Structure 1
């Protein structure tokens, strides 16, 4: 590495690429020239290394995959979902369907009928006759294929063999990647699709000097399909879109430059480039993304545990739906029970009063308590009455409809539901709910007992029906919605749920429904059930309803978890997750990254940022420490990998939901790429400006040479390993050997915690508590 003072003896002016440039590979990497094709077949060392790495990846992922033969950690969720698919039973999950459909496909391949529902961690697969090895084989296969994909990314980007081995080796011998891909979990699909997206984009970018050709379109579309698989597995896949999208945006910005190398494009030509990328990287992924939801809806056509998350209209598209089959129209003067959709508590009241003062000193109305009660009893019975007093015989048989003003009479205490401008016990901004006597309800407090019934999705004056009509009860004078939540009230309310008036009327948790009609006799005409036809709802209507439910419940995952962790802890692997334990054998599976590999990769990320800062500062002071070609490669190729890490890591700081160590796996893969690339940069393996463009797989130069027995002017390819002196390559191999020795040592040391065997003594467990790892059996 030479340092040249600007204005000195060297007259060659180095240009500084923008540090934000994220092109996947530099302009040196071009489609293979005819004279170079024979050299490709001679890359036997890369091919041999790829074969060996792939074989080891399969061994590390599949070895002992049948252990333990019990349900482990989140297998309770994703194994259950596969069973629901196979039984065609509707369920709800916060993740898109693609990864779960792969598990169902594997179950279908082996003839599994979905009879086991993975209810509890530790349930035996053997006793329940579950083909769990087949289920685990699918993520293990994808996890094993991720390792050679990382190697190919480095190879296609023109890096030397030691750099490619280090990058892929950090993933190959990482305990977190191995542990996550040996179980029925989604992250193997996510990480593999993310790595294929990066590889496909690198191959597409290399075709940029032959735009709109067959290979150009092939790799563009493959990038889009891979991106679709990422986002269709988990919504954090949007970070991969951010990575590729940033590179594409800068690529388009370069194409727009009138002074670009290779000639300016007309606006018409630029428009074709723009439209092609929009089609391949936005339209095609979105079509595939929608396709998996269509498959999801087509398979799940029976009622199941996911019904409660969906609207009555959606549920009517499912067969065997109890809600629609048993729904009955509600008449005025019916006795009903009301139930909260989200918490399943009943609207309840009893003679006890609110205390004079709450714990914080606020004063209550001392009125009759109105609470939420989890069990059905007579104190949950309310009579529906019209807003204006009418004799019962005059309104007999008249249906309660959406938009009606109603009153609710508590039958046991003969009092009327009321809300008023008094703060509720737990929410000073929300209104208290209580009841008042018949005299007050008919007199001075009449308006305070009026509630508007708003049925969700109702068209006009729709009838209120039990079970199938979901509604909000809006207090007419103050326009607050009746609401409840999960935090129990103190002993003075028998630890029942608080009912209050929510000023945020649009909140989705304000929904209630009529659960039963106790006053309805069995021989009533309304009790007779007629056969119900399964209704059809357009795909996009079901899709948007499911999206709203997914995002709502995803954002609601804010409760604490004993093994959750914060993003600042992930790069340093400060704590992991206990997946499974067995007391008798002292065996445990503890999800933990290889600390040695993670610390090396995290350190390299800091070194990269430091080099960028130092280079920018030195150029400001007129010192050019890098030649143009090396700087371009450093910013564009290594910078692209660094962007992939940042895009998959930094957004988690903005999230308020539960976060776990496995959320860092895509970012860790990107950090492995940065590590391999920076290791090569440190040894200055690309100091010579190339005279002609060659394929990235060769990553060499085309130089004038003399053909054996011939004259001057013949071209030959100089492979990447010949771009440096022997000492530099030897030093690189030495550094790679040291790194991989340390990484393999860390992997082997923590292997019992990853594979769940053998069991460890207390002393052996303690030796593995390097940081705050909350391991079991340490005593």
Structure 2
């Protein structure tokens, strides 16, 4: 206001001088200069006011709106809704420090645990589905923490659209669409990972858009800072869900295109070109990986107690957990000892058998890998029949002496419950190719040479207690000795392949006999986990060695991959919540998120018809625009500059490819899919819609353009108001619910 006031004072002085032409102090040149300064001052003030409205107040109001619609009566439904049963429970594991296993990386769940800690949660609630939250659990604050990620998507969308070069009306339209998107709102209201995933997906693309604006000023402090933020954002999105790899592909594609244009720049020295490579490798590969790695480091530090996820890890990791179920046992494994044997491969399961037989092949007893404690994991070391050695009457000694298992020994492993021998023969394995089947065959007194295995010790670890005596490196010890079992006749090795059997094998891990040419092949490594021999004493001063972080990191990631692959539709069960990918952009179905009782606040997960249908249509329109421009360019009807090409790429091509990378995988993958899997793809479809609107309306008369934007803004707001009960909660019956049912497949009515 001060600058405006001074402008008026200058104008007043000019008028006085014009009214008194005889005044000796009159200076015409000064009047002209003052007029110029006055105009510049007004223009500067206008720009300042417009800048404040456009880049501060506008996005701030949109952000407030975004928070308001997500926070609105967020505790209406006071029961555990949908996947809160999973993710709320995972958060409580961090509160209780109990190790668990899940299909997703840990960052999102650690953030949920942070919200529970902030809310004062003590971990004493199981988050059972549809269970009412007790009074001492501040679930409202937990939900608000999660909703904040969803609300902050709006300002991120605003600045992304702005950096992409859209006009201000399109920028506000994109922001409003994100703020009022029904599916974004309803998922933000609960303790889930989806809002976090969407937020970090959007920040990653926003960083890419910002780097696009800075591409002509590389190596500046601002450019370097945004390059670092991009890498950090990639690390975060991949640490919430592996779906984050899809947006990582987009950033990688943009980087490749940018490096290619730099390579074609003959004015750029090779030294600077290689510098571009080095900086991108550090910021876009090393930094994200370090973020991902460090999340698991924190994950392991926090979860130091035995819990539900122990079975997904190896023996060394489990035995170092507080309250582990693996107890110290006699340190020398003998013939006649009962043991459980765990694989050190990517599926660290226990060697297992049961009475069920293979449906084909030998049709003998199945041999599998099973992670959990079970009586069917028990095996007894026996002498080979060819050795002629017989146990005494106690079945543990020979001439009243215990005989240790040593490197190079030929042994026979007898399954305790079924009485069958661990056996292999030239019958093809059932899942993997090129390997032999392993089966349970014969009995303690009946069998052949194909029951015999040779012990090959490959590694011995020392106790963490420096005062514990040195152990014989040529003997087998529980926990610390890693060995291979080589088939005496076939020469192949007992192996856990990492694959799973079909339903006939209870989806347990496949165990085969594989030809392995390297002793470092960890899939052929095994160790004794539990050891029972009542003729030996336990040495209490033995402290097991610590597990290695890199081993734990690799194993837990492979276990996540295996769990993801196991999420396939069950043909014997009908999943009324599942949907096909084609149903998402067409808005064919939605998803009931909670108990659909008459007197319960009900939430229906469905995209906004305005956002979803228009953005889906725009995907086709964008391709038509691309075809038209390509045709005109080939006919030399238009000339496209490099800057225009970059602008078209960032506004249309990259969002379209991002939509493809976030949508097509769910079309082709075999796992079960749900509506919420479309959320990130919907955002990129909205950006493609923004391009089509921007491109189309900028070619019409200004009055028509403004009317067009007015209709779009009104349509977005009206659609939200009409369908708001879907995301804000429906209770009992209401006549307005009938008006919302535009398609017969929308099953949100009672």
Work out which of the residue numbers 202, 206, 220 in structure 1 matches 2:209. Answer: 202
Query: What displacement does 1:672 show?
Result: 1.3
Taking the aligned partners of 1:431 and 1:309, their CA distance within structure 2 comes to 24
Contact 1:318/1:534 (<8 A) preserved:
no
What residue is the counterpart of 1:463 in the other structure? Answer: 476
* Pair 1:63 & 2:60 matched: no
Deviation at 1:64, TM superposition (A): 1.6
Query: Alignment partner for residue 732 of structure 2, among 753, 759, 765?
Result: 759
For 2:381, the equivalent position in structure 1 comes to 384
1:104 aligns with 2:109: no
Q: Which has the higher contact order (CA 8 A, sep 6+)?
A: 1
Distance 1:545 1:152 in 2: 40
- The offset of 1:163, in angstroms, is 0.7
Query: Which range moved further: 86-95 or 335-344?
Result: 335-344
TM-score calculated relative to the size of structure 2: 0.77
Corresponding pairs, count:
673
Unaligned runs of 5+ residues in structure 1 are 1-34, 490-494, 686-726
How many angstroms apart in 2 are the aligned matches of 1:68 and 1:760? 16
* In structure 1, distance between residues paired with 2:715 and 2:91: 39
**Equivalent position of 1:306 in the other structure:** 309
Cα 1:391–1:62, aligned 2, differ >3 Å: closer, same or farther?
Answer: same
> What residue is the counterpart of 1:741 in the other structure?
714
1:186 and 2:193 aligned: yes
Q: Residues 228-247 of structure 1 correspond to what in structure 2 (within 5 A)?
A: 228-247=235-254
Please report how far the alpha carbon of residue 604 of structure 1 lies from its aligned counterpart in structure 2 after TM superposition: 0.6
Is 1:332 the counterpart of 2:344? The answer is no
Which aligned pairs between 1:26-37 and structure 2 lie closer than 5 A? none
For 1:652 and 1:150, locate their aligned partners in 2 and report how far apart those are by CA, in whole Å: 24
Match of 2:411 in 1: 406
Equivalence for 1:556: 566
**What secondary structure is seen at the aligned counterpart in 1 of 2:203?**
helix
Could you tell me which residue of structure 2 aligns to residue 723 of structure 1? none
Number of the residue aligned with 1:175: 182
Deviation at residue 765 of structure 1 after TM alignment: 6.9
Please point out which of 391, 398, 415 is paired with 1:394: 398
Match in the other structure for 1:692: none
Aligned with residue 681 of structure 2, among 656, 667, 674 = 667
Q: Which runs of 5+ in 2 are unaligned?
A: 1-42, 392-396, 462-472
Instruction: Return the alpha-carbon distance in structure 1 between the equivalents of residues 437 and 554 of structure 2.
Output: 33
CA contact (8 A) 1:346 1:376 kept: no
The residue number in structure 2 matching 1:293 is: 296
SS in 2 for 1:323: coil
Please, which of 612, 619, 632 is the counterpart of residue 618 of structure 1? Answer: 632
Shift in Å at residue 385 of structure 1? 0.7
> 1:315 aligned to 2:348?
no
Is the 8 Å Cα contact of residues 80 and 133 (structure 2) preserved in structure 1? yes
For 1:289 and 1:440, locate their aligned partners in 2 and report how far apart those are by CA, in whole Å. Answer: 53
Alignment-derived partner of residue 694 in structure 1: none
- Hey, what does 2:451 align to over in structure 1? 449
Which of 124, 145, 155 is the equivalent residue of 2:162?
155
For 2:559 and 2:508, locate their aligned partners in 1 and report how far apart those are by CA, in whole Å: 24
What are the residue-to-residue correspondences of 1:484-503 with 2, within 5 Å?
A: 502=512
User: Matched residues in 1 for 2:241 and 2:456: separation?
Assistant: 35
Question: Is this contact kept in 1: 2:209–2:650, CA < 8 A?
Answer: no
Whole-Å Cα distance in 2 between the matches of residues 620 and 496 of structure 1? 60
Q: Which residue of 2 aligns with 1:602?
A: 616
Question: For 1:344 and 1:760, how far apart are their aligned partners in 2?
Answer: 54
Q: 1:468 to 1:485 in 2, by over 3 A?
A: farther
**Cα distance in 1 for residues equivalent to 2:654 and 2:352:** 55
1:674 and 1:168, CA in 2 relative to 1: closer, same or farther beyond 3 A? same
Higher helix share: 2
Kept after mapping to 2: 8 A contact 1:586/1:760: no
Rounded to whole Å, the distance in 2 between the matches of 1:125 and 1:383 is: 49
Task: Show the counterpart of 1:436.
Answer: 442
Contact 2:586 2:616 in 1 (8 A): yes
Separation in 1, partners of 2:694, 2:514: 57
CA distance in 2, matches of 1:769, 1:610: 29
Counterparts of 2:378 and 2:418, CA distance in 1: 10
CA 1:453/1:634 → structure 2, altered by over 3 Å: closer, same or farther? same
